[in-house]
């Protein structure tokens, strides 16, 4: 469903991604690991359509269509979901309005009828249980006053509502205690089907104990320097990123 070919990306003239190649098929879970500053979040943001990045060469197709020319909202409606590393607080935008608008935009795109307030609340309650979201959170403004863990749960909660085809989880585990981590991972696993795919971007191996990847890629200095099965994650955990750095002459 997703094919990245020789992707080069710069930010303010500085080259961050230097020739990324990646193929993701339905049902697969890919982990992208790497030390800080290797370009992991850049890759996640580029896929979601953040505008400050300059694509200098390469291509990305999603279901055989050029992804890079599409607006972020278009990508989202076609099934790409980015779980943000740092979800933004938006005071004054009530959670319920935000979620209802997002869900209905997705439905409109699929030619489905928009949900009325009552129907939406019912759907919301179902999905809330999945990640143990509390009503006191959904009664607030988007992410306003949420703890770090609550923000990450909220991301997965949104994912549950929007049912993406391709979920990109950007450092969803960072800053979570073990209970929150388990809840989040449980949510992600429960949403897994043979039709959708997940890209887990993470610095730590810990999350991969709970969300088991089919493939692990190591991103270093803007390039994927190693790809293997889940065992690579354990190897990384054991040897540390210095191993990668040494192998790549740095």
Cα-Cα-Cα-Cα dihedral sign, residues 94, 95, 101, 104: negative
The nearer residue to another protein, 128 or 162, going by C-beta atoms, is 162
User: 73 or 195: whose CB is closer to another protein?
Assistant: 73
Rounded Cα–Cα distance for residues 245 and 226 (Å): 12
Residue 11 and residue 41 in contact, taking contact as beta carbons nearer than 8 Å: no
Nearer to another protein, 51 or 231 (CB): 51
CB contact at 8 A, 124 and 96: yes
* Closest C-alpha among 230, 226, 222, 223 to residue 243: 226
Question: In the complex with another protein, which residue's Cβ is closer, 100 or 217?
Answer: 100
Q: ∠ CA 107-43-88 to the nearest 5 degrees?
A: 60
Please name the residue that has the structure tokens 């897994």: 192
Tokens for 178? Answer: 């073990």
Least CB distance to another protein at residue 183 (A): 21
Least distance between another protein and beta carbon 81 (Å): 8
Minimum CB separation from another protein for residue 228, in Å?
30
Cβ distance to another protein smaller for residue 106 or 226? 106
Nearer to another protein, 161 or 232 (CB): 161
Least Å distance, CB 88 to another protein, is: 4
Residues of this chain that bind another protein (CB under 8 A)? 48-51, 71-73, 75-77, 81-82, 84, 87-93, 97-98, 101-102, 105-106, 109, 141-142, 158, 162
We find the least distance from the C-beta atom of residue 76 to another protein, in angstroms, to be 4
Measure Cα distances from 93 to 43, 98, 116, 140, 152 in Å: 28, 7, 19, 8, 18
CB of 79 to another protein, least distance (A): 10
């Amino acid at each position: 469903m997703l094919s990245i070919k020789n992707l080069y990306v710069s930010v303010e003239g500085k080259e961050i991604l230097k020739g990324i190649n990646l193929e993701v098929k339905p049902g697969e879970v890919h982990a992208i690991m790497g030390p800080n500053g290797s370009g992991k979040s850049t890759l996640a943001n580029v896929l979601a359509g953040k505008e400050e990045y300059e694509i200098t060469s390469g291509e990305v197709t999603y279901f055989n269509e050029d992804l890079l020319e599409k607006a972020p909202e278009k990508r989202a409606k076609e099934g790409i979901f980015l779980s943000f590393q740092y979800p933004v607080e938006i005071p004054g935008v009530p959670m319920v309005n935000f979620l209802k608008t997002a869900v209905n935009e997705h439905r409109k795109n699929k030619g489905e009828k928009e949900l009325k307030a009552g129907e939406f609340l019912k759907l919301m309650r179902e999905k809330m249980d999945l990640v143990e979201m509390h009503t006191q959170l959904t009664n607030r403004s988007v992410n306003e006053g949420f703890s770090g863990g609550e923000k990450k749960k909220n991301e997965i909660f949104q994912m549950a509502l929007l049912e993406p085809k391709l979920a990109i989880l950007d450092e969803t585990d960072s800053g979570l205690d073990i209970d929150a981590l388990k809840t989040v991972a449980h949510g992600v696993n429960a949403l897994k089907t043979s039709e959708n795919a997940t890209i887990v971007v993470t610095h730590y191996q810990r999350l991969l104990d709970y969300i088991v990847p089919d493939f692990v890629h190591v991103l270093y200095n803007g390039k994927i320097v190693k790809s293997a099965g889940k065992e690579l994650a354990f190897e990384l955990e054991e040897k540390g990123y210095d191993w990668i750095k040494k192998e790549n002459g740095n």
